[in-house]
Amino acid sequence: MRLDRIGVDESVAAVFPPGRLVDRLGDATDESGVDVTAVDGSPEGMADCDAVVTLEHHEAYLDLSWVHSIQAGVDRFPRDRLREAGVALTNSTGIHGDAVGETVAGFVLALARRIHEYAASQTANEWNRPDWDEAWTVAGERACVIGLGGLGRGIVGRLTGLGLDVDGVRRDPLPEPGVDRVYPTGDLREAVGDARFVVLAVPLTDATRGLVGRDELAAMDDDAYLINVARGGVVDQSALVAALRDDEIAGAALDVFETEPLPADSPLWDFEDVIVSPHCAAYTRDYYRHVATVLEESVRRVGDGEDPVNRVV
Ligand code: NDP
């Protein structure tokens, strides 16, 4: 792969200012001679780039050699068409474990310690104490983390640190440090059965679309919470709304949704024990630095005639 010029697409502005990454990569690639520039996403801006770093796909990218997604998920890219066009696609898997792990720990603590309720009361200047039996502590409770990759491992580390016991689910049930029992995906209903928190951390694929539906929600305890930091499509959202309405589960913390932004008339906004966050579980002001680290290694490898890191196509 020839690599003279890398563009940073304006769509990354949803996560960090493009100029930050351009400056950071510019410094790092001085030695390699690769030029890094911000582009506006138009075909003209892209024409003299070999590669682009982006949040979103544009048709013009089918003419490049390499597209790098600043996210771990690549569900928004047309993988088959990129493959046919001979374009390499890489992702940023591996950089999100700390940020998402801390967000999930925050959800767990908020739900148990009722912090989301105090925040809601504060907006109304109301001094509302919880009932005597509402607040609880998480040490000794069990979580089930579905997906034990970069995200899942970050989550497991934070939850075991809080004193929870953790089970896990993945396709090949190999043991994982900090995880008591690893179940294969086929045993998902059994795995979620005695968890107080079920945490989703899998990619959205044909195999995981609708992975958590009516039966899986029914298999959860009625005092259990679903935490989704994966992708909205991993959960059957109407089945989730029904389970919440019928008190089949206690609540949820949701960072991702079938439709984003979550429409204003979605019932998910209105449940007392549902925390809604706007797909920002991985946000951190260091995000661009982490992306730059992945890209620097890729530029080095491409210079040595190897594949860039995290190649998915
Ligand atoms: P990884 O590729 O590192 O890990 C994915 C994990 O999911 C692996 O353990 C893999 O299992 C498991 N998995 C894949 N398919 C299945 C399946 N059918 N059943 C059970 N387990 C499965 O990815 P990341 O951890 O970095 O990211 C995971 C996803 O999280 C991303 O694709 C993205 O959609 C989402 N994400 C969301 C963010 C947010 O802001 N909310 C931020 C970052 C990521 P195995 O070990 O068997 O291969």
208 neighbors 188 (Cβ within 8 angstroms): no
Q: Which CATH superfamily is domain 97-276 in?
A: NAD(P)-binding Rossmann-like Domain (3.40.50.720)
Tell me: pLDDT of 17 over 70: yes
Residue nearest to ligand 1 atom 33, measured at CA = 73
Which residue from 166, 162, 169 is spatially nearest to 102, judged by alpha carbons?
Answer: 162
Q: Where in the chain is the domain with CATH 3.40.50.720?
A: 5-95+284-303, 97-276
Please give the sequence-ordered ranges of beta strands (E in DSSP) within the chain, or none if there are none.
5-9, 35-39, 51-54, 66-69, 88-90, 142-146, 165-169, 182-183, 197-200, 225-228, 251-254, 274-276
The average confidence (pLDDT) of the chain is: 95
> Ligand 1 centre from 202 Cα, in Å?
3
Give the pLDDT of residue 37: 80
Please give the sequence-ordered ranges of beta strands (E in DSSP) within 181-240, or none if there are none.
182-183, 197-200, 225-228
pLDDT tens-digit readout, 274-301:
999 999 999 999 999 999 999 999 999 9
Stretch 256-272: mean pLDDT: 98
Q: Is 45 in the pocket of ligand 1 (CB under 6 A)?
A: no
Stretch 216-237: mean pLDDT: 98
Stretch 193-214: mean pLDDT: 98
pTM for this prediction: 0.96
189 is catalytic: no
Give the pLDDT of residue 41: 60
pLDDT tens-digit readout, 78-115:
999 999 999 999 999 999 999 999 999 999 999 999 99
pLDDT tens-digit readout, 144-191:
999 999 999 999 999 999 999 999 999 999 999 999 999 999 999 999
Give the pLDDT of residue 29: 74
For the chain, what percent of residues have pLDDT higher than 90?
A: 90
Q: Which of 31, 59, 84, 260 is catalytic?
A: 260
Stretch 239-263: mean pLDDT: 98
pLDDT tens-digit readout, 32-48:
778 888 776 666 777 78
79 is catalytic: no
Q: Is 142 in the pocket of ligand 1 (CB under 6 A)?
A: no
pLDDT tens-digit readout, 118-138:
999 999 999 999 999 999 999
Stretch 250-272: mean pLDDT: 98
Give the pLDDT of residue 47: 79
Residue nearest to ligand 1 atom 21, measured at CA = 170
Q: Which fold has domain 5-95+284-303?
A: Rossmann fold (3.40.50)
Window from 25-34, 47-56, 212-221 with minimum mean pLDDT: 25-34
Give the pLDDT of residue 243: 98
CB atoms closer than 10 angstroms to residue 85: 14
Residue nearest to ligand 1 atom 5, measured at CA = 149
Which residue from 97, 92, 16 is spatially nearest to 105, judged by alpha carbons?
Answer: 97
Give the pLDDT of residue 102: 98
Query: If phi over 0 gives left and psi between -120 and 50 gives alpha, with beta otherwise, what is residue 147?
Result: left
Give the pLDDT of residue 40: 67
Please determine, for the modelled complex, whether the ipTM score is greater than 0.95: yes
